[in-house]
Structure 1
Amino acid sequence: MNLSSQLHETAKASANKPAYYFLDKVTTYAELDGAITRFASGLEKLGVKKGDHIALLLGNSPHFVISLYGALRLGATVIPINPIYTADEIGYILTNGDVKTVIALDLAIPLAEEMHTHLPKVEHYVFCETGLSDFEQTNLENLPVFSKMKSFTSVVASGDVSFQDPKLDDDEVALILYTSGTTGKPKGAMLTHKNLYSNAKDVGDYLKMNNNDRVITALPMFHVFCLTVALNAPLLSGATMLIVPKFSPKEVFRLTKEYKATVFAGVPTMYNFLFQYHEGNPEDLQTFRLCISGGASMPVALLKNFEKKFNVIVSEGYGLSEASPVTCFNPLDRPRKPGSIGTSILNVQNKIVNELGEKAPAGEVGELIVQGPNVMKGYYKMPEETHASIRNGWLYTGDLARTDEEGYFYIVDRKKDLIIVGGYNVYPREVEEVFYNHPDIVEVAVLGVPDPNQGEAVKSYVVSKNPNLTENQLLEYCKEHLAKYKIPSSVEFLDELPKNTTGKILRRALKSQIKQKVNQ
């Protein structure tokens, strides 16, 4: 069984059951399944084949759901990409990921025109109509990329509902998720049909998700947290999604009150905004039976304040892209422990090991490793990195953790130097690479600093050979090369950065210097 075939079975059994609401318009499972089949058929008629790589540059919308499941039904491999990435970031993923078809909002037409000459492997651009694009049809016909362009509507319309999907093996790659690496270049985690299906089913079962649930889908669909917990798991369970195009506290409160939502999944930043929303009425969230937090550790004070104000329980979990992503969750049938990521979910085993790979006793800090049907196949075209991450069937997460006597896991520290901005991972090296491409920068170090709204923010410390270079100039430069959440909140100029005897910049020493300066 896989995600697409299971959805097809649900549509046959519950044809008129609402699959989702979007902008207050309802779509049934039968309607969704039909659109998915026609889209898969339409792609095939374009020449897209089983195994081809398809990139999605889409926000939260029916377009994303239909494109994802339509591509999977055809047997293609899907590569979701954050649509706010810059041309440089998108171009790297499209090239490294050997993408042949791009599905994007029509707002991205100028970006396609700018990039298409550098992307000879891309054969088709399918644009989803928003009605917000400035481009008229006559303008499009004059663009060199026009010959490769199709509209989403036309692809669906050309499809045949009698389309027969090919046989899909469990170990075939269904999704490639690009996750930032310490080398500064994103790595593509290959997730198979078995990985995605097993994690969505196990998460749904663990959270007791059912066809009476109405799930707020406000997390970005291109992010693996949303993909599994707020999209795939609900659809596997026959639940109804309440799709939020872009997170806003006002919309979450409105949808919850109007449609009696039962499940909300978000990162700590979202919970903070909901808690701080002055017009939020606690009674509006009374239908929630479950609130899920992930993506970053939630401050215990926020967790307790949110629960007290809205009279709900927030359950924290843990996951990573390489594990599809969920490995741990706080149990629903036992007391939730604030600060803990919970226990291993169904069919997944978590373990803490020391430097020798031996299991660490309760209370001892070691590396968290994971084993289960959710663990990725490997990194795309990166065999050495794959071998380093997966050893003897165990995925080494790089996160330091411990367990208590009852088997609850606690993350002690994140991967070295990782910065989490509003639930999104930012690796310093990736930002530093951008600075090093600036002609006036000699050295740079990027650190995470506390931020009351996003949890953490990016801050850069630079050594420049140009005394007239300003902070604003560097920030404007970053806007051209980095997604918004990766852009530093501030830049501080220093005469030199701390280094070891080999000349390596020492971030930890820099952190200590900054801390000492603050305490003086």
Structure 2
Amino acid sequence: MNLVSKLGETAKSKPDRTAYIFGEQTESYGGLQQKIDRFAGGLHELGVEKGDHVALLLGNTPHFLISFYGALKAGAVVIPINPTYTPTEIGYMLTNGDAKVIVAAGQLLPLYEKMHESLPKVEHVVLCETGEPLKESENIEINMKLKSFSKMMRSSVQSFPELKEEDTAAILYTSGTTGKPKGAMLTHQNLFSNANDTAQYLTMNEADLVVAALPMFHVFCLTVCMNAPLMNGAAILIVPKFSPAAVFKLVKKYKATIFSGVPTMYNYLYQYDEADATGFDSIRICISGGAAMPVALLKSFEDKFDVLVLEGYGLSEASPVSCFNPFSTGRKPGSIGTNILNVKNKVVDELGEELPPGQVGELIVKGPNVMKGYYKMPEETAHTLKDGWLYTGDLARRDEDGYFYIVDRKKDMIIVGGYNVYPREIEEVLYRHPEVAEAVVIGVPDPTKGEAVQCYVVPKTKTLTEDDVSSHCKKHLAKYKRPSAIVFLEEIPKNSTGKILRRALKDMLSKQS
């Protein structure tokens, strides 16, 4: 079984059931299947063969959904790319990923015009109509490569290649927090198993309407908000771009039942002045991932909107989900939960030996969701995959009940005078201050202690002072954990999914020095 065949079964058995809502447009499973078949046929007519790479530079629109499943059905390997990346970042992924076809929003044509000479392997560029008429390029060579998404949908091809579990289905590039982004190769088995297991774990069903406000090109949304709902006949509410106003409006209008987001999104929703306690009345479950959610924020959000927030854990290399808090048998705030179906997690020491409950070590993952490796990076693959286990690079601990807790990224740990300091612990304390809206902690060089703690704070009010923050930390933190410097910012740098970029803060710091 794979994503394509499972969707096909639902479309055949329940063709009239709603598959997605986008603006005023509602599409059924039967209608979605027809569009997927036509797009797959269009790719076939362009010469796309099994194993060819198709890159998607698309935001949250039906084009993404149709292109993703259409490319899979055609036997292609899909490479979702953030369309807001810089030309350098996009160029690297297209080149490293050996993209043969690009599917992009029409307004990205000028970007391709600037890049096309450095992309000789790209044979076709499919432009999606997004309200404005598609423009032609003045370059004849480029025009020969351009294709219209709507014209692609006129194909009548009916024959498609057989998809095997071990075939690569997608290459998802990591965020590249250290060095160049790495392309995680996920198989059809990886994607299907994780989507299906996640849907079952969260009891997604035909009555659910899942909000897709996270970027669809990101693995969190791809699996939890797109693939998982479609595996169980649920519907997707596609939100073009996240904003608190848009989310509250659409949730109320369509009575959505499941919302997924990163902690920053929950913070924005909680802080939104026009939000009231009834804003999430129809939501039966909220899911948080992508980064650790401060317990103070989690409790405040739940109290305000009377909804349960369950934290989970995942990474691109695991398709992505490996842990979730179970809502049927209770959850533990601050925990990423327990093993999901068919997936095992362990906390190990430097030698790979499992540690007892309470001790901090590296989290490793094993299951049908774990990638086959990094594309064209055998050394990185060997470093990350050992004896069937995926080494995540995250520090964690396990309690006596089998619940896991992320302590921090292994590379983010700060060593102050020989003591291990975990940024998340300090951030949890900072978030408990009533006048702190956001906070992030990094390590900075120190001539006597090796490293020191520096924190960045976005205040809720102009009255908050460094002394206020310092006094608060003194009450709750040992001396070596306290920030040596406190910096106030209007906004903390984040990536497209709302994940805080510690690297950007370190770069900013190095430029200042």
TM-score range, shorter chain: 0.7 to 0.9
Determine the structure 2 residue equivalent to 1:18: 18
- Cα deviation for residue 182 of structure 1 reads 5.9
Match of 2:245 among 245, 250, 263: 250
2:144 paired with 1:147: yes
Determine the structure 1 residue equivalent to 2:342: 347
- Cα deviation for residue 262 of structure 1 reads 0.5
Determine the structure 1 residue equivalent to 2:209: 214
Determine the structure 1 residue equivalent to 2:257: 262
- Cα deviation for residue 317 of structure 1 reads 0.3
> Which whole-Å CA distance do the structure 2 matches of 1:352 and 1:75 have between them?
37
CA gap 1:398/1:491 in 2 versus in 1, 3 angstroms: closer
- Cα deviation for residue 257 of structure 1 reads 1.1
- Cα deviation for residue 491 of structure 1 reads 3.3
SS, match of residue 353 in structure 2: coil
Give CA-to-partner distance per residue, 1:215-265, whole Å, 9 cap, x none: 111000000000000000001110011100000111111111111110000
CA gap 1:452/1:297 in 2 versus in 1, 3 angstroms: farther
Counterpart of 1:75, as a letter, is G
- Cα deviation for residue 284 of structure 1 reads 3.1
Match of 1:378 among 373, 380, 393: 373
2:503 paired with 1:491: no
Determine the structure 1 residue equivalent to 2:123: 123
Q: How many percent identity over aligned positions? A: 60
| 1:215–1:262 contact (8 Å) kept in structure 2 | yes
CA gap 1:451/1:53 in 2 versus in 1, 3 angstroms: farther
Determine the structure 2 residue equivalent to 1:288: 283
- Cα deviation for residue 336 of structure 1 reads 1.5
Give CA-to-partner distance per residue, 1:314-372, whole Å, 9 cap, x none: 00000010000000000111221111000000000001111221111000111111100
Equivalent residue runs for 1:5-154 within 5 Å: 5-132=5-132, 136-137=135-136, 140=137, 142=139, 144-154=141-151
> Which whole-Å CA distance do the structure 2 matches of 1:484 and 1:113 have between them?
31
2:316 paired with 1:321: yes
SS, match of residue 153 in structure 2: helix
> Which whole-Å CA distance do the structure 2 matches of 1:9 and 1:324 have between them?
22
> Which whole-Å CA distance do the structure 2 matches of 1:2 and 1:485 have between them?
34
- Cα deviation for residue 391 of structure 1 reads 0.6
Counterpart of 1:97, as a letter, is G
> Which whole-Å CA distance do the structure 2 matches of 1:405 and 1:492 have between them?
40
> Which whole-Å CA distance do the structure 1 matches of 2:223 and 2:370 have between them?
14
| 2:291–2:499 contact (8 Å) kept in structure 1 | no
- Cα deviation for residue 492 of structure 1 reads 4.5
> Which whole-Å CA distance do the structure 2 matches of 1:402 and 1:296 have between them?
16
- Cα deviation for residue 5 of structure 1 reads 1.0
Q: Structure 1 unaligned runs (5+)?
A: 421-427, 429-444, 454-477, 497-520
Counterpart of 1:38, as a letter, is R
> Which whole-Å CA distance do the structure 1 matches of 2:500 and 2:361 have between them?
30
- Cα deviation for residue 165 of structure 1 reads 2.1
SS, match of residue 397 in structure 1: strand
Counterpart of 2:95, as a letter, is T
CA gap 1:491/1:370 in 2 versus in 1, 3 angstroms: closer
SS, match of residue 412 in structure 2: coil
Counterpart of 1:126, as a letter, is V
- TM (normalized to structure 2)? 0.82
> Which whole-Å CA distance do the structure 1 matches of 2:391 and 2:500 have between them?
27
Give CA-to-partner distance per residue, 1:168-201, whole Å, 9 cap, x none: 1100000001114465111100000000000000
Determine the structure 2 residue equivalent to 1:432: none
Counterpart of 1:311, as a letter, is D
| 1:328–1:341 contact (8 Å) kept in structure 2 | yes
Alignment length (residue pairs): 440
> Which whole-Å CA distance do the structure 2 matches of 1:188 and 1:97 have between them?
8
> Which whole-Å CA distance do the structure 2 matches of 1:357 and 1:47 have between them?
46
Q: Structure 2 unaligned runs (5+)?
A: 414-422, 425-441, 443-450, 460-492
> Which whole-Å CA distance do the structure 1 matches of 2:338 and 2:509 have between them?
42
Equivalent residue runs for 1:303-322 within 5 Å: 303-322=298-317
Equivalent residue runs for 1:196-215 within 5 Å: 196-215=191-210
| 1:113–1:143 contact (8 Å) kept in structure 2 | no
SS, match of residue 337 in structure 1: coil
SS, match of residue 368 in structure 1: strand
CA gap 1:304/1:225 in 2 versus in 1, 3 angstroms: same
| 1:84–1:484 contact (8 Å) kept in structure 2 | no
- TM (normalized to structure 1)? 0.81
Equivalent residue runs for 1:113-512 within 5 Å: 113-132=113-132, 136-137=135-136, 140=137, 142=139, 144-157=141-154, 159-160=155-156, 163-181=158-176, 184-417=179-412, 450=456, 452=458, 488=504, 491-492=508-509
Counterpart of 2:344, as a letter, is Q
Query: What value does the CA root-mean-square deviation take over the aligned residues?
Result: 2.5
Give CA-to-partner distance per residue, 1:8-30, whole Å, 9 cap, x none: 11001111111000012101101
SS, match of residue 282 in structure 1: coil
Determine the structure 1 residue equivalent to 2:431: none
| 1:319–1:326 contact (8 Å) kept in structure 2 | yes
> Which whole-Å CA distance do the structure 1 matches of 2:159 and 2:454 have between them?
50
Counterpart of 2:210, as a letter, is V
